[in-house]
Structure 1
Amino acid sequence: MSPGGPAVGGADREERMDRVLLCRVVEPGDALVGGWVREVGSRGVARLFRGVGEPPSKVSPQRMAGYRERAAAADPGADLAAVEAIGGRFVCPGDAEWPGQLDDLGDTRPIGLWVRGRPSLRRWALRSVAVVGARACTDYGAHVATTLAAALAETGWGVVSGAAYGVDGAAHRGALAVDGATVGVLACGVDVPYPRGHAGLIAKIADQGVLVGELPPGGHPTRSRFVLRNRVIAALTRGTVVVEAEYRSGSLVTARYARQLGRAVMGVPGPVTSGLSAGVHELLRDGATLVTDAAEVAELVGAIGELAPERRGPVVARDLLDPASSRVLEALPARASVNARHLARDACTGYEEVLAKLYELQSLGFVERHGERWQLTRYSRGPGRTRRGGP
């Protein structure tokens, strides 16, 4: 179903009901069942789980018994009613709202997605970036995630994350603060506020953005479901930015999925003394792109012409001088005056050229003449010039 009504040109009711059943029976990312769906379709797999026919590939009797036991207890109609009661919908391949980039996951592609929020998931995901990182992040990590997400959202990028504590929550808040697009990918049902401490944030994402999950209503999170959730975050987006991560951080799993899928992988550097930056720095050493702001992210994942501004220090008047003038200016002492012949010797050039350059520098306000001697003006004396004057 698409926002506001049935999917146009989408999956028919029977296929939708079959996929809802499979969501209740199968764990996210089950490649075995994903392969069966590819071979015999969701209808064939649903019939198999109801006890009709033989599996297309070898599977242990115990595993098949588990599938069939869960299928017998499933109630697809009740699951659809439950998600519709909270203003949600079920989106599956063939629907207009289905993000086609999820097909890159192959046999681990989601059977379907449970969605809350008015915007179209497909449209928002087309121009989106994942911002993920440590749950126990530092103030630096939270600040970077918030400002990065806000700047991305202000320039029309959707921010995708996992609604967890730390960097994830900061990224969502940054996007929401500027009324930007943000998508929360959950490892539980979209009706389950997890973590509990983010109940308010999750409700706000559902109201202003989009919540997405593979588990049917009431589904609870587990460690393995968090890990598998990360593949959806990586596949939905054009690239993944990691802000603070230890060596064993789950956000690095998202980055690995992104790399396997051919998406851009980026990292924000942090203090080398912080263990929370160690994982990011290792990611950078392994070929990820270093980024420090939204413009650099957009340059990497955006369209041709979305270039970050050139980064350089301020241009000062001295930078605009020709080499000969610079050499003469550098040869002048900081606090004393010198005659032109002495200056020519120090500047390794001829007297006539030095004299010509001195008059040019005088017109530009760098030097001043006192009789036969020349010296720097008060405004052109740079810090650290301690050379004593000559005769």
Structure 2
Amino acid sequence: MTPAPDVVVARADADASGGWPVALWVIGAGRSHFIVRAPREQLGRLAWRRADARALMALERFGAPTLTRSLDSHPCPTGLNWGYIVQEYPALDDPGESGSLAQADCGGRSCGGAAWRVDLPARDGQTLPVARMLPGLAATRPEWLVLYIVSPLQSLPLKGVPQLHLADALRGPRSMAQWSQLRLPADAAARFPAIHTALLERAAEDQGLAQASVLMRADMLSGGRRAGRLHDWEADEAQRRALGLDGKALSGHAIVRLLLRLAPGDRPAVLEPHGAPWQAAAEYSEKLKALVPWPETPASCRSRLSAMNCEAACERKVASMAQAPSGGFYADPALDTMAPAQRLPACLQSCLSQKGAAEVSLQQRFDAIAERQQQAWRWVEQMTGRPAAEWHAR
């Protein structure tokens, strides 16, 4: 039984990426409020009050980019055919992590911490005075900010902050060959937060934005949720209430996760959303996945081949043909004209021939799996500008 392809094996959330501040800006009718997870001493002199950090991080766990599993092709033959499939290997257990992450929640830190809320009057343009609220952020070095915006607007680029164009190699697939390149190696799962960051940094460098403030669509490199309705976040009532996301007033609002890299030289004093569409180059239609080999070895494949009993399988197949027509998608038209006495010898010959061919090709299959992993690492090297040896050493 093939497991679901969307099992999460790694996540590039704020804490796993190094403790970036996570903030929520809710733009309502008449008033707005802002919640941020950061130490109190880093905040400006406003009327802050304690907020529920765990509720905010629960939202972040929902919206953060993820790396999902993509199983490589099975190295062992999955069945031997004669007309229909005459025998298959037993179904393998799911080799994935069943939803658990490769790295600890919140990067090994507490998912709580301190969060603070301030209520803001709605002003013309509904701007966010981020420099006054977070005066220490990006004051001396570039820093990241994960920003959730809840607003009636469906598209939320920010005025005055350039958008990052996505590299051509990361846009949607144009061929099966390119599609296969959008797979990270299995060993990259535990390093995904850093690889995700490096992909963004390399793209910014290539576009002349290495030292500038830039808006990076947080989901564009790993298939996270795009602008979505609030009901898509399956939070409990207490979490919604703690973040001010309950009530009918926000029922038509969308929630968007943005990623800002702010630089000291041009960090904006205020953030102001507007409803202009995202640049087409900043959209990404496919998820990044980790290419995970099946837990098999040449020895285990040979053991499975040896256990396949051609005689018993062919006897069952020939007996079933005497009771029902042989038609079907996989049926050999020659079976309809074959004399009943010829069917068992023909099935045995076919079965034994396929077992022999499978035995010969086993090592080639495993060599191809190893090459696909190396190819995936070469893709990581190309997109991050760092050698595989450096990533392995982390």
Superposed pair shares fold, TM > 0.5 = no
Pairwise TM-score range, normalised by the shorter structure: under 0.3
Question: Which has the larger helix fraction?
Answer: 1
Question: Which has the larger strand fraction?
Answer: 2
Larger Cα Rg: Structure 1 or Structure 2? 1
- Give me the TM-score of the superposition, normalised by structure 2: 0.22
- Give me the TM-score of the superposition, normalised by structure 1: 0.23
